[in-house]
Amino acid sequence: MLALLLLTLVQLTAGKAQAASQYNYDCSFCHTMPPLDSATSKKDPNTGAVPGNHAGHATSAVNSCVTCHGSQVSTYPMGHRNKTIELSDGIGYSRKIAAGFVNQTSVPPNPMGTCSTATCHSNGKGTLRATPAWGSAALTVPGGCSACHDVAPSTGNHPTAGTKHGNYYGLGTGSCVKCHTDHSVQAKPFAHATSAGHRAIEVKFAGGGSFAANQCSNVYCHSNGRGTYTPPTWGGTLTCAGCHGDATTNTLSGNHAKHVNNAAFLGTNYGCVECHSSTVSNDTTISSFANHVNQTKDVAGTRVGTPVSGTCSTSYCHSDGKGTMKSVTWTGSTALTCKSCHGADAAPA
């Protein structure tokens, strides 16, 4: 009897248009919000999970579906179950374009489609990248960071192999934080992609300074180490003089000029390496990037002894040649005479 009754019911309902639901289901009743991602290329009948990447793209909020499924979602009645998975044209989903009709059967296609015009999957300069196929393994940090833009981009003075910023900051995602927010440590490291086209590229410096009109201003790195900044242009090149000035225009402190530009008295001009051997190997070569522009004035070398608080008191140069050291200060402005080093002792030997 029961079987017959059921059969009759089935026959009665077959082919009939779907009536508005009698019940007030919430959105998560049939497909959860967002739909669960199955870990495989198949649907999982036990959980209702479908192949896809909904977890990384949508939340439980209805408006999170709109970007990909269209603005009509925000007013969806139950009748949206029309056997077509609506997708916005704006994302260029390949299955939609090719088929004109997208539906998943109980055995979904593998691989699924890709998006080629989704601005989120751009390099931030308007060049769109095709997305990994819908349902691919979720992107990870740091491997997935180069899915949309290179790490680092090849534009401007980005830290790529062989560049100065690369030498100083390294080549991985660890370098980005020098000039940008560190997206790799955010709870949702890829969420920043959705701001493409909605805001300017964010450039900021933890140590202060700003970026505008393609120039960095008041950034310590681009100072002479004494609070004078020379705004560099993004994409330009700098020589040592770009920050330090050259032999005549140099802005170096204290008695630099008397050492590096004083051959008449010294018999030679001292090279930077004489007093900065832990940073440079000659006047134009940085030997240790770790010591240069590290907020510390590294002084070391055969000419300086062990400087203490701006004073050279163990430097052989400032001795009388017989083992008595004369203490001189870096900022002292008194011109040295022969007696500053020789014969000024109470009882000259």
Q: How far apart are CA 327 and CA 304, in angstroms?
A: 12
Instruction: Pick from 37, 57, 209, 277 the residue near ligand HEC by CB under 6 A.
Output: 57
Site track for ligand HEC across 78-107, x = CB under 6 A: x-xxxxxxxx-----x-x------x-x---
Write down the least CB distance from residue 212 to ligand HEC, Å: 9
CA distance 45 to 38: 10
Question: Should residue 49 be labelled a site residue for ligand HEC when binding is judged by CB under 6 A?
Answer: no
Q: Is the dihedral of CA 92, 95, 98, 104 positive or negative?
A: negative
Asked whether 272 and 282 are in contact (CB, 8 A), the reply is: yes
Backbone φ and ψ for 229, nearest 5 degrees, come out as -105, 140
Whether the CA torsion 227, 233, 234, 239 is positive or negative: it is negative
According to CB under 6 A, which residues from 247 to 286 bind ligand HEC?
252-253, 256, 259-260, 270, 272, 274-276, 279-280, 283-284, 286
Minimum CB separation of residue 345 from ligand HEC in Å reads: 13
Q: Is 287 in the site for ligand HEC (CB under 6 A)?
A: no
Q: What is the closest distance, in whole angstroms, from the C-beta atom of residue 106 to ligand HEC in the complex? A: 10
Q: Between the CA of residue 260 and those of 64, 148, 226, 273, 300, what are the distances in Å?
A: 64, 49, 18, 11, 15
**Closer residue to ligand HEC in complex, CB, 8/21:** 21
Is 109 in contact with 117 (CB distance < 8 Å)? no
| Closer of 33 and 41 to ligand HEC (Cβ) | 33
- The residue written with tokens 């000659």 in the block is 282
Name residues contacting ligand HEC, limited to 180-209 (CB under 6 A): 180-181, 183-184, 189-190, 192-193, 195-196, 199-203
Q: Using the rule CB under 6 A, which residue among 38, 92, 133, 179 binds ligand HEC?
A: 179
Contacts with ligand HEC: how many residues (CB under 6 A)?
129
Near ligand HEC by CB under 6 A: residue from 68, 133, 209, 305: 68
Nearer to ligand HEC, 11 or 127 (CB): 127
* Nearest to ligand HEC of 97, 252 (CB atom): 252
Contacts of ligand HEC in 3-22 (CB under 6 A): none
215-244: which residues touch ligand HEC (CB under 6 A)?
221-223, 225-226, 234, 238, 240, 242-244
The answer to the question of residue 25 lying near ligand HEC (CB under 6 A) is yes
Q: Please list every residue from 116 through 175 that binds ligand HEC, using CB under 6 A.
A: 120-125, 134, 139, 141, 144-145, 147-149, 151-153, 155-156, 158-159, 165, 169, 173, 175
Residue closer to ligand HEC by CB (options 218, 291) is 291
DSSP-assigned states of every residue in 316-338:
GGGB-SSSPBPPEETT--PPP-H
SS3 for 68-136 is HHCHHHHHCCHHHCCCCCCCCHHHCEHHHHHHCCCCCCCCCCCCCCCECCCHHHECCCCCECCCCCCCC
Q: What is residue 300's DSSP assignment?
A: B
Q: Which stretch binds ligand HEC (CB under 6 A): 2-10, 11-19, 24-32?
A: 24-32
Return the number of the residue (7 or 191) whose C-beta is nearest ligand HEC: 191
Give residues 291-310 in contact with ligand HEC (rule: CB under 6 A). Answer: 291-299, 303-304, 307, 310
Q: Give the long-range contacts of residues 254-259, CB within 8 A, separation 24 or more.
A: 254/310, 254/330, 254/331, 254/332, 255/330, 255/331, 255/332
Given candidates 37, 38, 49, 52, which one binds ligand HEC under the rule CB under 6 A? 52
Contacts of 339 (CB under 8 A, 6+ apart): none
Nearest one of 254, 272, 258, 271 to 309, comparing CA atoms: 254
